[in-house]
Every structure is written in C-alpha cells, then in structure tokens.
C-alpha cells in the first residue's frame, strides 16, 4: 500500500521535475521561456507517434527530445536573434505547440500506445516498501534524478556553469569578458526545450501511454512555478516536485478513504501548499535576491 | 514574424472558426456552430459530439456549414466564444457542457434571431434556447448491476468530475443498480475536479485501486483510468465512447453517446423554419444512449445486463423507482413512485448506501 502510493507520487512528480530542471537552466542564463507547456505537448505527441510508427519507445524518447530542442531553437531565434519580447513569444510558443500537436496527433487519437518498460533489478526490487521504488522504476525516473545532479554540479561546480550564471546575472560584463552571451543563451534555452520534450514523452510513454490532445493539462505551467519555488536551486526542484506530487496523490487517497473534507478544498491543496512555501521562502529577502538571475527576462543585444 | 506566428497559433488552438466566405450554392448553407469543453481528440465526451457533427456534415452536405471552438473554459470565456459565434453568422449554436448554461442564456437574450441549444442543462430563459440531454443514468444503472454481480471485493471506485446534478445522478443510478444485486455494495467516490486531465484521472484510478476496489468507473473524459485498470488487472467501464481498444481484457461495457441523429434533426429544423424550443431528454429507447458490447464477464451476468437494458428500453423499469431513501435515511420516493424529470435534473443529494460526503 505505502509502496504503491510512493510509486504513484514518483510518477506524478517525474515529468514536473524534468521540465522544471530544464527551465531552470534556461532561466539561470537569463531567458524566461513561458513556452514550456507548448514544448512539452510537442514532446508528448512526438514521443507517442514516433514510438508507434517505429515500434521503438526509445526512438520516441529521442525524437521528443529533438523536437523539444527544435521548438526551443525557434524560441531562441525569435527572442535572442530578433530580440522579441520573451513573455509574449513564450506564450505564443505554448499556443503554437498546443495547436500543432493537436493537428499532428489527430490520427493517433484512440490508439493505445507503447509503454517504456521498467528497469527491474532482480532481488533488490523485491525488498519491502522501498524495493520497487528504488530499484524497479521506469528508466526516465532515474534519468530525472541524474539530470538534477548533473545540472547542480554543472551550475555550481564547473567553469562553464559559472559562465552561464554570469550571463544570467550580468550579460554586459560577461560579454566584456569575451563570453558569447547569445551563444550560451541559445544552448541553455535548447537544453530547456530538450528537457520539456523529454517530460512530454514521459507523459505519453510512461504516465498515461496514449495520445490525447492537451494531455499535459497545465503541467508545463506548474514546472515554471516550481523553478521559482526552488529559487533557481536544482536540488530544491526535487523537493518541490515531490511535495507537489505528494499532496496531489495524498488528497486523492484522502478522498478514496472518505475523509470528511470537501473535495474542492483537497483539490486545491497542492496549489495552496506551493503558495505557502513561496511566501515562507520570500521572507528571506537577501537569499531570494542572491539566487534570482539578475537579468531574467531582459534581452541583451551585444554591441558590435 | 511573431505576429504571424501568434495568429497561426491562435487559429490552430481555437480550431477552425468560420473558414472564410461560405461557398455560394443555389442557397446559402445553414451555419451550425458548436462549443466544446474539451479537445475533439479526447476520445470521450467532446470526441463523441464531434462525431455527431461529422455525421451531420455527411448527411446534409453543402446545405450545412459547421464551425467549432474546442477547449472553451466554462464561465466568462464561454460567453465571449458565444458572442463571437453569434456575430460570425451562425444560425444555430450548440453548447455542449453543463457549465455553459448561464452564458448560453445570457447571449441568447441578446441575439433573438439565432437558435441556441444547450446540452445537459435545464435553463431556457428565452424562446430561442432549447435544451437536450441523454439519459445516461439508464446506462449507469446497468453498470451498477454488472459491477455488483462481478466484483469480488464488493467495492467500486468512481472517478467523478464536478458535483453537478448530472454526475450525482449517475452515481445514484449506479448505486441503485448495484444495490438491486448486492445491498451491501460500496462505492468509493473521488472527485477529480476536472473533466479532462489524463494524468490526474490515472492517479485517481491508482489511488482507488490501492484502497481495494476491483472495478473502476468514471465520469471524466479520458481513457487513462481504463488503461490503469488494464495494467493492474482489474475491470472498468468506458465513458462516452467505446474504449475497448484501451482495455481489451478490462472493459465490461461503456455508455456510448450518439448525438448525430439529434444534430441532423435540429439543423434541418432550422433550415425548414420549423425549429421550436424543446427540452429533449432521450435515452436507450431512442438510441441516444448506446451500450457497448458486454465483455469480460460471465455469460449469466451478460444475460442479466441485456435483460435489464431491455426492460429500461421498453419502459418496464425506471432506475429511480421507490422505495428509495436519501443518504441520511430520510424517505425520498415511496414504494412504486417514480422520480420526476425535474427532481432528476436538479438532483443534489446521494441515495442511501453511499458513504462519501457530497461536496457542495
């Protein structure tokens, strides 16, 4: 019982974690991409259709990553090269993705999809309670944790990560030092898109292996909120994603048991919890300022 | 570039809205417009409405021009979508979700020359508003019978959307059907507070299964719960469309909505000038509600289900026939008394035997 609850929570949290960690990198470089939902749904439809047509779920995953990155490249071209407004372009990207995915996916509606198999480490996965949770999950679950660790190390443990943060905090001085601000921002945005695409593939290949229009149902927006929630620190994204997933699943269980609390109140709990934590975090002004990329959302045009 | 992109995106998202000038035939085509609460690719509620629209196009050919807006949120946005349709030359507008009720009546008052048809509601404040609905509860009663006859744990998990009369009525009908077989049958209800969110619906299904139910039924629109049930090796009922492809070993039956005949009838009436305000509520007898084949159950249960279906169709059996008590034990219907349509349409209480508390 406890084990299956924890498994359900992990499934609910993983796509949020993957998408949020990608967006975190993009925002650390100073680019606010509100198109996460759009890139995610493109990843979902690509992952589903490619795996169905090719017969390989992994090919679907790779295709979803590529398409997510390609969508982000489009966003990068508009906001970084043509210097359009990031907020408006991001919103347009979301609308665009939702529409295009519906069009592409039309012929796939009503077809059962492929499921990405689980990794099953023999013996260990039979351990009580934690067995399946730690040793018997889908591969993308492990990848999501590796991604987080990798991003945390990259941002705060490597020179390239320092450069990326410098670009996000003060692009002018980074530029003066000879760092290619635009180049780094392109890469960061594309990494974000690749992660969003992967998160989408998780939805259509692991979470609910099927294609239905609009199946992301707002998860891209939650991923965006999680980045702020985590105050742009990778490890805190895990905490946020699992807190959100835990409260979401917990309230469903509370309802199924028959806890006498109105269901509307229970349904709003994940959002209330998020707001409460945000308020608590923002109490410490200096810490917030320290972590927020100083030039987030501001365009940078290098003088030539 | 950006502007083109935004325009393209908006057009793509909102669906085809009155694509250009109508093709001039001998006579202008009648323009029928539809507002959907979900995407046409949900393979559930909205999908079935759209299938009805496709039937309409096939039947009437050049005599009809259709347009639709999908994923229109219930509330203020619906009013804007309705106004846009009303100004774009629609002759008749169908609004296909309960939550559009007030917006439909509001806009209908301002456009008296346009006909409005609201699905599953009960308000007709202007002569140009009609309502139509299907008696899905008939199918839910049959599902309850099947559930009680096949469940081993004696518990069913019910994934509900919003506590509106339509949904509450379905839960009650299901319970009454189940109680006719097993008086101690239990229903666990989880409110997802959404019509369509595959992830959340599948989580709800998992939570219910973890609590020990061995049959899942849903009043939300995606196929996700069916898939979870298949994965966990239990049984489930499909919703709105035949979901057998998602649960070959799992689906017991499904309540299938068939809106096509009604849409054809009503649009033809507009064309002939014979349209009148109506309050249509048809069920199994008229073919608006169709049961998907009974599968994955023993032969005797199949026969029992088919027998009940026939009795409902012939009018011999009405699911809401007394004696029925309300949840708190107070009497509602006396022996042999049948609930009136008004009572059914405004239903906001559980019948006896349901443990969950109805949110209000």
Each residue's pLDDT, cut to its tens digit, for chain B (360 residues) gives: 344 444 444 444 444 444 444 444 447 899 999 999 988 888 888 999 999 999 999 999 999 999 999 889 888 889 999 999 999 999 999 999 999 999 999 999 999 999 999 998 889 999 999 999 999 999 999 999 999 999 999 999 999 999 989 999 999 999 999 999 999 999 999 999 888 889 999 999 999 999 999 999 999 988 899 999 999 999 999 998 899 999 999 999 999 999 999 999 999 999 999 999 999 999 999 888 999 999 999 999 999 999 999 999 999 999 999 899 999 999 999 999 999 998 998 899 999 989 888 876
Residues of chain B contacting A203 with CB distance shorter than 8 Å: 198-199
Name the superfamily (CATH) of residues B136-257+288-345: Response regulator (3.40.50.2300)
Q: Which CATH architecture has domain B28-134+259-283?
A: 3-Layer(aba) Sandwich (3.40)
8 Å CB contact between B355 and B154? no
Range of the domain at A225: 2-291
Q: Is residue A63 part of a domain?
A: yes
Q: Identify which of B199, B236, B192 has the alpha carbon closest to the alpha carbon of residue B214.
A: B236
What CATH number has the domain bearing residue A156?
A: 1.10.3470
Does B5 contact A92 at a Cβ distance shorter than 8 Å?
yes
Q: Is residue A147 part of a domain?
A: yes
Cβ contacts from A onto B, under 8 A: 158
Is B196 touching A (CB cutoff 8 A)?
Answer: yes
Q: Is residue A304 part of a domain?
A: no
Note the pLDDT of residue B360: 65
Note the pLDDT of residue B31: 95
Does B206 contact A8 at a Cβ distance shorter than 8 Å?
yes
Q: Please name the residue of chain A whose CA is at the shortest distance from the CA of residue B247.
A: A112
Task: Tell me what ipTM this predicted complex has.
Answer: 0.85
Note the pLDDT of residue A289: 77
Q: pLDDT tens, A201-230?
A: 999 999 999 898 889 988 999 999 999 888
Does A88 contact B207 at a Cβ distance shorter than 8 Å?
no
Number of neighbouring beta carbons within 10 Å of residue B88:
12
Task: Report the C-alpha gap between A30 and A296 in whole angstroms.
Answer: 4
Look at residue A184 and tell me whether its pLDDT is greater than 50. yes
8 Å CB contact between B343 and B172? no
Q: Identify which of A138, A148, A146, A141 has the alpha carbon closest to the alpha carbon of residue A20.
A: A148
Q: Please name the residue of chain B whose CA is at the shortest distance from the CA of residue A97.
A: B9
Residues 6+ apart with CB under 8 A from A8: A249, B203, B206, B207, B210
Is B5 touching A (CB cutoff 8 A)?
Answer: yes
Note the pLDDT of residue A260: 72
Task: Report the C-alpha gap between A249 and B187 in whole angstroms.
Answer: 19
Does B39 contact A102 at a Cβ distance shorter than 8 Å?
yes
Look at residue A123 and tell me whether its pLDDT is greater than 90. no
Does A95 contact B196 at a Cβ distance shorter than 8 Å?
no
Note the pLDDT of residue B1: 39
Residues of chain B contacting A249 with CB distance shorter than 8 Å: 203, 207
Q: Is residue A56 part of a domain?
A: yes
Separation in Å, CA B276 to CA A235, B52, B126, B270: 63, 21, 12, 9
Q: Is residue A296 part of a domain?
A: no
Q: pLDDT tens, A1-30?
A: 788 888 899 999 999 999 999 999 999 999
Q: pLDDT tens, A161-179?
A: 999 999 999 999 999 999 9
Q: Is residue A33 part of a domain?
A: yes
Note the pLDDT of residue B9: 43
What pLDDT band is residue A257 in, cutting at 50, 70 and 90?
A: confident
Q: Is residue A297 part of a domain?
A: no
Q: Closest Cα of chain B to A253: distance in Å?
A: 5
* Per-residue DSSP letter, B279: E
- Where does CATH 3.40.50.2300 sit in chain B? 28-134+259-283, 136-257+288-345
Q: Do β-strands B331-333 and B324-325 pair in parallel, antiparallel, or remain unpaired?
A: antiparallel
Does B203 contact A252 at a Cβ distance shorter than 8 Å?
yes
Number of domains in chain A: 1
Task: Report the C-alpha gap between B241 and A215 in whole angstroms.
Answer: 18
Note the pLDDT of residue B183: 94
What pLDDT band is residue A115 in, cutting at 50, 70 and 90?
A: confident
8 Å CB contact between B360 and B348? yes
Structure-block tokens of residue B85? 């349709």
């Amino acid at each position: 019982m406890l084990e299956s609850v924890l498994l359900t929570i992990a499934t609910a949290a993983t796509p949020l974690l993957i998408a949020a960690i990608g967006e975190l990198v993009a925002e650390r470089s100073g680019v606010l991409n509100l198109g996460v939902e759009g890139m995610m749904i493109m990843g979902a439809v690509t992952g589903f259709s490619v795996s169905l047509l090719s017969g390989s779920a992994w090919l679907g995953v790779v295709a979803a990553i590529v398409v997510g990155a390609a969508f982000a490249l489009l966003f990068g071209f508009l906001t970084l090269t043509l210097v359009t407004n990031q907020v408006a372009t991001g919103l347009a990207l979301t609308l665009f993705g939702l529409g295009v995915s519906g069009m592409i996916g039309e012929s796939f509606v009503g077809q059962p999809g492929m499921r990405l198999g689980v990794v099953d480490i023999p013996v260990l996965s039979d351990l009580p309670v934690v067995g399946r949770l730690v040793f018997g999950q889908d591969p993308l679950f492990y990848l999501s944790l590796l991604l987080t660790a990798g991003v945390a190390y990259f941002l705060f443990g490597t020179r390239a990560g320092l450069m990326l943060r410098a670009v996000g905090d003060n692009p002018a001085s980074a530029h003066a030092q000879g760092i290619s601000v635009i180049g780094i921002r392109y890469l960061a945005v594309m990494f974000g898109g690749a992660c969003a695409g992967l998160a989408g593939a998780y939805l259509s290949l692991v979470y609910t292996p099927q294609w239905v229009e609009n199946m992301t149902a707002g998860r891209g927006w939650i991923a965006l909120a999680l980045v702020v929630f985590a105050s742009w620190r990778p490890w805190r994204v895990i905490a946020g994603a699992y807190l959100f997933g835990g409260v979401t699943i917990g309230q469903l269980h509370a309802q199924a048991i028959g806890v006498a609390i109105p269901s509307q109140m229970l349904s709003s709990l994940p959002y209330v919890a998020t707001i409460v934590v945000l308020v608590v975090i923002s109490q410490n002004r200096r810490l917030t300022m320290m972590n927020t990329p100083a030039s987030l959302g501001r365009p940078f045009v290098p003088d030539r | 570039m950006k502007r083109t992109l935004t325009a393209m995106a908006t057009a793509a998202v909102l669906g085809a809205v009155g694509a250009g000038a109508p093709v001039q035939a001998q006579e202008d085509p009648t323009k029928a417009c539809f507002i959907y609460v979900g995407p046409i690719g949900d393979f559930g509620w909205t999908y079935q409405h759209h299938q009805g629209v496709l039937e309409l196009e096939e039947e009437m050919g050049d005599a009809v021009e259709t347009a639709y807006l999908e994923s229109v949120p219930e509330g203020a946005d619906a009013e804007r979508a309705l106004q846009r349709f009303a100004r774009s030359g629609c002759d008749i507008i169908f609004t296909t979700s309960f939550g559009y009720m007030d917006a439909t009546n509001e806009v209908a008052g301002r456009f008296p020359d346009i006909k409005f048809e609201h699905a599953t509601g009960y308000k007709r404040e202007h002569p140009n508003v009609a309502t139509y609905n299907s008696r899905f509860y008939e199918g839910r009663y049959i599902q309850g019978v099947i559930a009680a006859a096949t469940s081993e744990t004696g518990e069913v998990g019910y994934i509900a959307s919003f506590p509106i009369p339509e949904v509450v009525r379905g839960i009650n009908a299901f319970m009454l059907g189940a109680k006719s077989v097993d008086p101690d049958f239990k229903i666990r209800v989880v409110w997802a507070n959404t019509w369509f969110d595959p992830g959340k619906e599948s989580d709800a299904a998992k939570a219910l299964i973890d609590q020990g139910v061995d049959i899942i039924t849903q009043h939300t629109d995606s196929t996700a719960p069916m898939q979870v049930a298949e994965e966990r090796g239990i049984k489930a009922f499909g919703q709105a469309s035949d979901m057998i492809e998602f649960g070959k070993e799992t689906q017991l039956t499904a309540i299938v909505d068939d809106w096509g005949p009604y849409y054809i009838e009503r649009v033809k009436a507009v064309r002939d000038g014979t349209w009148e305000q109506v309050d249509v509520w048809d069920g199994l007898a008229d073919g608006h509600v169709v049961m998907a084949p009974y599968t994955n159950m023993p032969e005797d249960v199949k026969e029992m289900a088919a027998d009940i279906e026939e009795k409902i169709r012939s009018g011999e059996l009405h699911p809401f026939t007394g004696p029925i008590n309300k949840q708190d034990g107070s009497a509602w219907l006396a022996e042999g008394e049948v609930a009136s349509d008004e009572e059914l349409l405004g239903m906001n209480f559980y019948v006896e035997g349901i443990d969950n508390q109805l949110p209000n």
